[in-house]
Amino acid sequence: MIFLFVTGKILPLPPVGGTRPAPFEPPQGGNAARVRKLSGVLCCSPYYYSVALPVYKTAQHHNMKFFIDTASLDQIKEAKDLGILDGVTTNPSLMAKEGISGDKNVLDHYRAICELVDGDVSAEVIATDFKGMVEEGERLSDLAPNIVVKIPMIKDGIKAMSYFTDRGIRTNCTLVFSAGQAIIAAKAGATYLSPFIGRIDDISWDGVELIKDIAEIYAIQGFDTQILAASIRNAKHIVDSARAGADVVTCPLSAILGLLKHPLTDIGLEQFLADHKKVNELLLK
Ligand code: E4P
C-alpha cells in the first residue's frame, strides 16, 4: 500500500485501478486550514479526485463554526433561533456593556449563557498573574462543561494555558495580533486562538492576511489549535475569514445578519409576491 504524508497524518492512497480501501480519517482540530492545504497541494495532480476531494467532503462535517460575540442574552437567543449558532464568546468589555458587575453576578450570567447554548462559551479571566488566572479559570470552568477559559496573550497567560492544557481544561487565547503569538499559544495547547482582525484593520494593516498566515503555519506544523477569527466587524470579514481558513468566526449579531442581505434578493422577492398577488386577484374577479 502506498501512503501519502499530509500535514502530520498518514493517508492511504487507493491502489492503482482499485477502489479506496477505507474511509479516510478527517484531519482533527484546525480542519479548514489542513484541508485547504491538502486541496491546494493536490488539485493539479491525478490524486485530486481520488484523495483530496473525498477528504474535503468528509471534512465538511467540520465546517466553519459560528460563535456570537456578545454577553447579551437577547442577542444570543436571536442568533440561536436562526439554528446556526455553535457557541458564544464574551470579554470584560462585553460583560460591562450588559451592566454585569460583581463576582456573583458575573458567574450567574455565565451560567445563564451556558444554559442557553449547547456549544462552547468563552469566559475571560480578569487576573493577569499566573496564580490569579489559574484560580479564576478553575472557578469559571467549574460552572459548566461548555465553558472555555479565555486567557490573554501575555507571559503568565501562556503559563496558565499550559497548566490548563495539562489538566484537560480548554482555553481560548485572546488578544492575538501576530503569527509569533499564534505559534506560542499553539505550543501551550490553546484550544482556540483569537486573532483580532477588525482591530488590525483599524490600524491600517490586514487582519485577514494574519488569518491566512496562521492557517498556513498551523497546517505545515500540524497544530490542532482552532483559529477563531475575532473582532469581526461585518459580513465581508466572515466571508474572508472562511476563505482564509478560519475554523471559527465570532461575530456581532449585525455581522451575522449582514450575511443574509442582498438588494437583488429583496427586489426579487418583492416581484415574486407582486406577480402572485396580481394573478390571484384576477382569479377573484
Ligand atoms: C474576541 O473574542 C473579542 O471578544 C472580540 O471579538 C473583540 O472585538 P472588538 O474588536 O470588536 O472589540
C-alpha 196 – ligand 1 centre gap (Å):
7
Q: Whose CA is nearest to atom 12 of ligand 1?
A: 231
80 CB neighbour count, 10 Å cutoff: 16
C-alpha 242 – ligand 1 centre gap (Å):
17
C-alpha 7 – ligand 1 centre gap (Å):
30
> 150 an active-site residue?
yes
Q: Whose CA is nearest to atom 6 of ligand 1?
A: 231
Distance CA 45, CA 4 (A): 13
Whether ligand 1 lies within 6 angstroms of the CB of 172 is answered as: no
Pocket test for ligand 1, best of 75, 90, 91, 238 (most atoms within 8 A of CB): 91
Pairing status of strand 9-12 against strand 147-152: unpaired
> Please, what sign has the CA dihedral across residues 203, 208, 213, 215?
positive
Which atom of ligand 1 is the closest one to the Cα of 198?
10
Nearest to 190 by CA among 232, 160, 221, 219: 160
Q: What was the pLDDT predicted at 149?
A: 98
C-alpha 51 – ligand 1 centre gap (Å):
38
Q: What was the pLDDT predicted at 14?
A: 36
List 150, 155, 212, 277, catalytic entry: 150
Q: What was the pLDDT predicted at 21?
A: 33
Whether ligand 1 lies within 6 angstroms of the CB of 70 is answered as: no
C-alpha 216 – ligand 1 centre gap (Å):
23
Whether ligand 1 lies within 6 angstroms of the CB of 241 is answered as: no
C-alpha 69 – ligand 1 centre gap (Å):
7
Quote the strand ranges of the chain, DSSP E: 3-6, 9-12, 65-69, 87-89, 120-124, 147-152, 171-176, 192-195, 226-229, 248-251
Mean pLDDT by 10 residues, the chain (285 residues): 39 35 43 51 49 49 90 98 98 97 96 97 98 98 98 98 98 98 98 98 98 98 98 98 98 98 98 96 78
Q: Whose CA is nearest to atom 7 of ligand 1?
A: 231
Cell, residue 123: 469566559
Q: What was the pLDDT predicted at 43?
A: 46
Nearest to 92 by CA among 116, 128, 65: 128
Whether ligand 1 lies within 6 angstroms of the CB of 92 is answered as: no
Q: What was the pLDDT predicted at 49?
A: 45
Pocket test for ligand 1, best of 90, 174, 231, 248 (most atoms within 8 A of CB): 231
Q: Whose CA is nearest to atom 10 of ligand 1?
A: 231
